[in-house]
């Protein structure tokens, strides 16, 4: 589980996120 903060350019893993998640912290599960 990796914690990333969403930016306009997406996360460090380059995951596309909906605009409503911009500026929020998300948790990415890497499999």
- How many residues in the chain? 31
Q: 13: which DSSP letter? A: T
Its pTM stands at 0.17
pLDDT in tens, 2-30: 566 555 554 454 555 555 555 666 666 66
What one-character-per-residue DSSP string does 1-31 give? -EEEE-BTTB-TT-----GGGTTSEEEE---
Which pLDDT belongs to residue 10? 47
Which pLDDT belongs to residue 20? 58
Q: If you search the block for the tokens 């912290």, which residue do you land on?
A: 25
- Tell me the chain's radius of gyration from C-alpha atoms: 9
Which pLDDT belongs to residue 15? 54
């Amino acid at each position: 589980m990796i914690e990333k903060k969403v930016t306009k350019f997406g996360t460090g893993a380059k995951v596309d996120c909906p605009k409503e998640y911009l500026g929020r912290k998300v948790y990415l599960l890497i499999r």
